[in-house]
Structure formats: structure tokens, C-alpha cells
Structure 1
Amino acid sequence: MGQSKVKGYGSRGWILIIWIATAFLSYLVIGNYPLNILSDLYGGQAVLSSIYTAASIIGVIVQLIASNFIGKLKSIKKMGCLMGVLSIVALLGIMFIPGYIPGPTQMLWRAVYGLGTVLSLVYATFSLSILVGQWFPTRKGSVMGIATFAFPLGNGVIGAFAATAFKSGQPHIANAFAPFLIIFIVGLILGIIFVPDYPEEVGAFRDNNPNMTPEMAKNMMLEEIENKKTTVWKLNHTLTTRDFWFITIPAGCLLMFSVGMMTQTNAILGSMGNGLAKFGGFAGVMLMICIFGLIGSFALGVLDTKFGTKKAMIIACIIMLLAGILGALSSPEKPGLLVASLVCLALFMGASSNFTVSLAAQYWRREDFGTVFAAVNPIANLISSLGPVIIAMIMIACGYNMIFVVTAIVAVICIILMLLFSAKHVKEKDDTYRTAAGKKLDNALEGRK
């Protein structure tokens, strides 16, 4: 059989990319959007940030519980679809419950907002991310690099849609969310109809790689499904492996400062006064963040695929360090440094959301991906969830410059942890666990970059 060159992602692969992109957008809009545009009207930044953090912690607990049975779950797609439907219901509550009215109505809105944050977290960053790992185990970097366009694009248009909600004295919150709601519904319907759990179920191939017969592909799928039931990477093995922490903590910190900072862009940019005029004002800076977010998401995704997740993450951490230094040195007299800092944050904003998928797929076996990712993702989410609260507290107590000082310090720590990470040591632990379980050893993890 001749070797066909792998091109593109296939029609169903592209639909999966579109689906998860709309899910990422739902996570951004349901969890972060209210922090940016509704906080003053709905109880204040501190209140909403606390709800977001508490909801994210609950989401972490849900994912850790799920990690114990994810290998035996027959269909991760069904779980994703259920979470998607419930996320849409929660968004309808966020849109139409008048949470700006003090009393029981406001408390109900806050409860729905917290629940929606949990559901959209499990929908986008957990369920569908596992699905991507099953479809594109070796090309996950470039796939997620495209899917995470949703983050910079979403941040770029949030302001425009938010403006429509507050044209008059009476807020029309639903107007600000309606376009996103339509996008979420369309994405979910496409996924339900066209994307199965495994590409082999519809005659397609992993990584859109046709260099095997359909029979070989199907046999590989069945073997993988069976092996998932007896994965050696149970939660206790994963959490006691040092390299798991060396790479998961930086992944969480990248998320923390990219997502957390974007919830405070209004306040941070407001510190510059009229200094942003030469950059097109608030709208101009947000457009730059959107453009450079798209560039960074794609570029880091390509680097991830070509050179390995470790190298891509180190580059992202170096960019994070640069963002911290530039922001710390900025002032109303030097607004260009702040703009440059936010551009750096944008460069790894989208990519930070694909590293959790990439690292689990890169350094562990396909059969172990689901259970390892089910530990990586919630811990990274937990670190990320602290971002809005911590950044808001630092902003109130010390001013925006100190946020960037902390960013630079954390970036240095992350670079050190990434340099300590060893793919070779992960393979040694894998060999140990497989030997103890009576499973055969092979070179599946050799040469991981």
C-alpha cells in the first residue's frame, strides 16, 4: 500500500474543530464575559470573581471524580453533548434573569452564573478536548491552535456586543449574548450530527492519516478502547509522578495570567487615561489583542506539533516573562509598554488552552490520554480559576503594575519547572507501571520531544 501524504484535517475533522471552537467561545462568554461587562451592575467585581473562582473549583472536583471512570466511559461525545445542552440552558438564564435587581432574583442569577461556569468548563475544556485527543493524537497542537482562535476572537468582539446592551438606561443584557447563543447552538448541532467518538466509526482515520486500511484502523480503535479500560495511569499514579506537576503547573499558570488578565482589561487600560489615543483607544488596543491572539494561537500550535509541547510551552513562558517586564515598566507616560505587554499576553492566550490537551497526548500513550488529561485539565483549571480573584485583589491593593511584577516572577518559576520536565522519566514510570500490570513494553513513547 502506497504512502499517502497527510493533508488537512478531513471534512469531519474540520467540523470537530468548529465544534470545539464554539465550545471554547461558550466557556469564555459564560464564565468571563460577565466579569468584564456586568460586574458593576450585578454586584461588583469582587462578588462575581468569587463566584467564578468557586464555580471553577467545583468544576475541578467534577473532573477529578470523572477521571476515575473516564477510561470506562463508552462515549465521551455523549457527555460533551449533555454538557453543551445544559450550558446553553444556563446561558439563557444569564441572559433573561434580571440579576441587576437586588434580592432573590439577583441571587438566582448568581447561582445560574456559577452553574453555567461549571457546565461550560466541563463541556469545552474537558469533554470535547478529550474528543480532539481521540481524533488527532499526534496533530493535536495544530488542531487546537486553530480551535483556540475562539479566545482572541471572543475577547476582540465582546466590547462591541456589550455596547449594544447598554445603549439606553435600561440594560438589555440578552442583546449582548444573543449572537453567541446562536453560534453555540449551531456548533452543538453540527457536532451531534457529524462527529462520532472515533473517526474509524465513519470510515475516517486518526490524524486524517490514510496510510492504513480501514480494517487496520478499526482494529486499532477496538484495541485502544479495550486498553483504556485497564489503563495503568490511574489517578494515584498520575498525581505521584513529579513530571506531571513540572508540566501541569506551568500550563495552569499560562491559563491563569492570560484568562485572568483579560477579565481586567477594562480596569488596566483605564489606568492609561488618554495615553491610548495614539493606539486607537480602547477599541484599537482590543483589536490588536485579537489579531496577535490569532497569530500566537496558530504559531504556538504549529511549534507544538513540529518541535514538541515542552519547547512550545517554554517559548510561551518566555513570552509571559516579557509581558510581565513590559507591563511592570509601563505608566500613563509610557502607554506603549502596556500595549506591548498585552500583545505578549495575547500571543499565548489562545495557545495556553491547548497545552493541557497537547501535553497529555504528547507524553502519554493514546490509551492513557483520557485518564491523564482528566487529571491535567482540572488542576490547570484550578490554578487558572484563581486568576480573576488574585489579579483583582492585587489591582485594588497595589495597582496594575504589581500584577505584571507577579506575572514576571511566576513566569520565571514556570520556565524552571519546564526545564526540569523529562519525557524520558515519564516513559520510565510508564514502563514500571506496565510491568507491574503485566502489560507488554514497547517503544511507543520513545523519541517524544
Structure 2
Amino acid sequence: MQNIQKGKNSMETKVKKGYGKGWALILYAFLAYFTATAVGSAMNAASGTLSELRGWNAALLTSFISLGSIANVVAGFVFGKLSTKASAKKLSIMCSVIWIAVVVGMGVTTNLWAFAFCLIIANGISSALGYQLAPVMISKWFPKRKGIIMGIVTMGIPLCSGFATMMYQAGYAAMGSLGGFLPFIAVLVVALIVLVVFLADDPADKGFNPDNGAEAEAEEEKGINKESIWTTQKLLSTPQVWIHGLTLGVQLLFASGLMVQLFPRLLEIGFDPGMAGMMMLASGLLALPGSYLCGVIDSKIGARKAAYTSYVFGILAMLLNLTGNTVCVWISLVCIGMVVGGAANWPASLCIEEFGDSFANGYGIIQPMIQVVGAVGPAFFAAFYGMTGSYKIPYICGAVLMFIGLIGFATLAKPGFAKKEEEKYKK
């Protein structure tokens, strides 16, 4: 009888190994992160195409992306707050429907300002879907394995950056203005079906234990902590929240600004446009293994220690690129891939470590802070280029920026600050 019981327990253990039903969440979050950058990435091709088709100014169309970045921040704060009160699944369904509607609007409207309105709303809503709401669900389904999960799902960001132009051009060639955006709509429709059919806010509702078999440490760690001390006022009045937002934001500032300026820098070094374009595509694809590797590092040593690697890789990327040597430049692209992957991974993973069941509260404030800092990236590199007429000085400044970020994070960002604050309220 005892042997039968042992055999039964062994079978249960085997069933629970791996990600099981959690693969549905992994697929959904991957597609949500893909969608999060779809509009901005597609506009690289759409701005020129729509300029010819509609007679709109291409530079003005491109500038709308910057307004979309502001919408990202606003949406981050709004949906970060809402996710502490309401179902992340229901909010995601609502966002998906709105996104599909406004992207269809981008494809069919002939009015420039209607197009701008749709683009800005789409950018903000998609950012909320990927960066804000998907991590809330991940924090409940994979509280202990969040590092490797974030490493997988954030691969959707560079994948979209690498293929968005081709997707838009293929759709446009087949079906015109609306057709250019249909491939991205199709991606989100698939994600929406997975979300509605296979997922729930509480993994138990789908017969899934957190981390697929890893026992929860305590009953109170499950679900949203509605009694959390981490109100918006409390978060904004806590210095460590600002320190984490600003120092981690440096990584996004670096990654976003660098990717915008990388192509002209490669031309400046001496690569022809064809080779520079191939290297740009390679830099996006290299962020795929970079993102996954960041997740592996996170799972091995924790998000806080792992976050140091992005600063180091950022410094190396700049120094190697400044040599102008072909081999060194290619290695710098690998380093850039690690920075891009890490910049998307660490905020969510670190907030899960710090805030636990109050993740939605803390992340809902820290992530928008990071986005505010990151939005400065393109202007940061462009400003130094404007003053010097060369990308050499901006790249030196980029290395200095990451060094300052590294020192700031190492000396000012304190581990366990959330738990210490919570302990004060228990006394």
C-alpha cells in the first residue's frame, strides 16, 4: 500500500514538472510584448508609404511616435493603478478590443489628425497590454520562476522590431493601407483567443498551481493584496521607489536611444547602407537570445544582481563600437542585444522580488517612471550629435551614462526596502 502511495506521488510530481498549462500564459505574454512595440516599429515603413499614398508629411508622421511614448507613460500609470483593483484579464480583453479598433482606424482613415489620434491611443494601449498587465498575470502564475518566464516572453519585443517592417510591407502590398496593419491585428487576435479561452487571473481557476507545482510559501501570497500599504501616495513618497525607477530607467534610455541612432552610426563608421541594414536586423535578432539569457541569469542569481549585467554590457557596447573595428562592432551588437533584453526583463522581475503579492501596486508606479526616463533616449543621443556633428561623442556619453547608472544602482538602490517598510506597519 505504501509503495502504491509512493508511486501515486511520483506520478503527480511528473505531471507537475515543466510549465504545463502555464505555456498558454507564456504564449499570450509573448504575443502581448510583440504587440507592445508593433505600432512604433511598423511606422518605420508606414511613414514613407503613407506619405506617398495620402500626401502626409513623413517627418510629421514619425513625430507622432514621440507622442505615442507619452501615451505609454500615461497608460502605464492608469492601468498600473487599475490592475490593483480589477482583473488584469478583463482589463487586457478591454485593451485588446480598443487596440484592434484604433489600428483599423489607422488603416482606413484619410484624415491626418484622426490617424494621429488612433496611433497615439494604439501605442499607449499596447504598452499597457505588454509592459503593464501581462507581468501582473505572470507574477501570480510564476512567482518563483518569473526570471526565466520574463526572459522568454520579452523576446517578443526584438522579434517585432526585426520583422515589423517586412510584415507591414507584405500586408500593404497585398491589401493596401489597411492591409499593412492586418498582420499585427492578426497577432493580437490570436493572443486574445488564448487569453479568453485558456487563462484566468488566478491560476487555480485553470487547475494550475503557481510555478506549476512549486508550493506557495503562504496563503496570503496568492492573488492581489487589496490591503497593501503600497498606495500611490505611499509609493511616490518612498525614496527607494524613485531611485529604482530612475536607475533602471537609465537602461531603457540607453537602449531606446541607441537603437534609433545605430543605423547612422554604422554608416558613419564606414559600412554601406546594405550592410548597415543587415547589422540593424542582426542587432534586433541578437536581442532574442539576449532576452532569454537575461532570464536564465535572473533565475540563477536573482533580478537585482542580474540587473548589473546590463550596465556592464552597455559600457562594453559603446567602447567596442568606438573602435570602428568590424569584429568589435559585431561584438558590440551582441552586447546591445543583452542590454535591450535586460532593460525589458529586470523591472518586472525585480518588482516581483521586492513587492511580492503587492507587485501590481509597486510595478504600476515604477514601470511608468522607467518609461519616462526611457523616452529621453532618442533626444539624449540626438542632442550630442547635434552639438558635435558626429556619433563618437554621443557614444562616449552613452558609456558614461551607463557607468553612472551602474554606480547609482549599486550604491543607492537598496534590496528588501519594500519588506522593511511593511514590517514598520506591522509593529
Q: Which residue of 1 aligns with 2:94?
A: 82
Aligned equivalents of 1:82 and 1:275: distance in 2? 45
Q: Are residue 431 (structure 1) and residue 423 (structure 2) matched?
A: yes
2:364 is aligned, of 369, 374, 378, to: 374
Q: Name the structure 2 match of 1:220.
A: 219
Query: Given the alignment of the two structures, is residue 399 of structure 1 paired with residue 390 of structure 2, yes or no?
Result: yes
Q: How many Å apart are 1:92 and its aligned residue?
A: 1.8
Closer/same/farther in 2, CA of residues 125 and 241 from structure 1, 3 Å limit: same
Which piece of structure 1 moves more, 345-354 or 295-304? 345-354
Inter-CA distance 179–172: structure 2 relative to 1 (3 Å threshold): same
- The answer to whether the Cα contact below 8 Å between 1:72 and 1:228 also exists between their aligned partners in 2 is no
- Conserved in 2, the CA contact under 8 Å of 1:32 and 1:263? no
Equivalent residues in 2 for 1:194-343, closer than 5 Å: 194-209=198-213, 211=215, 220=219, 224-225=222-223, 228-275=225-272, 281-330=275-324, 334-343=325-334
Q: 1:301 to 1:30 in 2, by over 3 A?
A: same
Displacement of 1:418 after TM fit? 1.9
Give, in angstroms, the shift of residue 187 of structure 1.
1.2
Q: Which runs of 5+ in 1 are unaligned?
A: 99-104, 436-449
2:156 corresponds to which of 150, 157, 176: 150
**Cα distance 1:347–1:68, how it changes in 2: closer, same or farther (>3 A)?**
closer
Shift of 1:329: 3.9
Q: Which secondary structure does the structure 2 equivalent of 1:197 belong to?
A: coil
Q: Residue 7 of structure 1 corresponds to which residue in structure 2?
A: 17
- 1:193 — aligned with what? 197
How far residue 254 of structure 1 moved from its aligned partner, in angstroms, is 1.8
Q: Does the Cα contact within 8 Å between 2:321 and 2:328 map onto a contact in 1? A: yes
Q: Does 1:43 align with 2:57?
A: yes
Superposed CA RMSD in Å reads 3.0
In structure 1, how many angstroms separate the alpha carbons of the residues matched to 2:326 and 2:168? 25
Higher helix share: 2
Q: 1:177 to 1:383 in 2, by over 3 A?
A: same
Cα distance, 1:325 vs. partner? 2.0
- Kept in 1: contact 2:41–2:161 (CA 8 A): no
Q: Indicate whether 1:122 and 2:128 are aligned.
A: yes
Identity of aligned residues (%): 24
**What one-letter code is carried by the residue in structure 1 that aligns with 2:237?**
T
- Is contact 2:79–2:132 with CA below 8 Å preserved after alignment? no
Instruction: Please state how far the C-alpha of 1:291 moved relative to its aligned partner.
Output: 3.7
What is the rounded CA distance, in whole Å, between the counterparts of 1:141 and 1:371 in structure 2? 19
Deviation digits for residues 44-74 of structure 1 (CA, Å, limit 9, x no counterpart): 44x456433333334323433455554332x
> SS at 1:228's partner residue?
coil
Which whole-Å CA distance do the structure 1 matches of 2:252 and 2:368 have between them? Answer: 12
Establish whether residue 23 from structure 1 lines up as the match of residue 32 from structure 2.
Answer: yes
**Does the aligned pair in 2 maintain the 1:31–1:116 contact within 8 Å?**
no
Match of 1:271, as an amino acid?
E
Q: Compute the displacement of 1:176 (Å).
A: 4.0
Give, as a single letter, the amino acid of the residue that structure 2 aligns with 1:378: P
SS in 2 for 1:354: helix
Tell me the SS of whatever aligns to 1:72: coil
Q: Which amino acid aligns with 1:144?
A: M
Question: Which residue does 1:72 correspond to in 2?
Answer: 85
Number of aligned residue pairs: 410
Output the amino acid matched with 1:28: T
Quick one: structure 1 residues 350 and 201, their matched pair in 2 at CA, closer, same or farther if it must change by over 3 Å?
same
Task: Report the CA distance between 1:338 and its aligned residue.
Answer: 3.9
Q: Deviations over 1:177-225 (max 9, x none)?
A: 332221221111111111101101122111112547xxxx9x937x744
Distance verdict in 2 for CA 1:242–1:405, change over 3 Å: same
Q: TM-score, normalised by structure 1?
A: 0.81
TM-score by length of 2: 0.85
Question: 2:105, 2:395 → 1: CA distance?
Answer: 35
Q: 1:117 Cα shift?
A: 0.9
3-state secondary structure, aligned to 2:123: helix
Aligned to 1:422: 414
> How many Å separate the matches in 1 of 2:417 and 2:215?
31
Q: Does 1:136 align with 2:142?
A: yes
Q: Is the 8 A contact 2:79 2:128 kept in 1?
A: no
| SS of alignment partner, residue 343 of structure 1 | helix
Task: Work out whether residues 80 and 133 of structure 2, in 8 Å CA contact, stay in contact via their aligned partners in 1.
Answer: no
Q: Is the 8 A contact 2:47 2:62 kept in 1?
A: no
Unaligned runs of 5+ in 2: 1-5
Any idea what the Cα deviations from partners look like across 1:361-406, whole Å, max 9, x if unmatched?
A: 011222x111001111111111122223444444455433333223
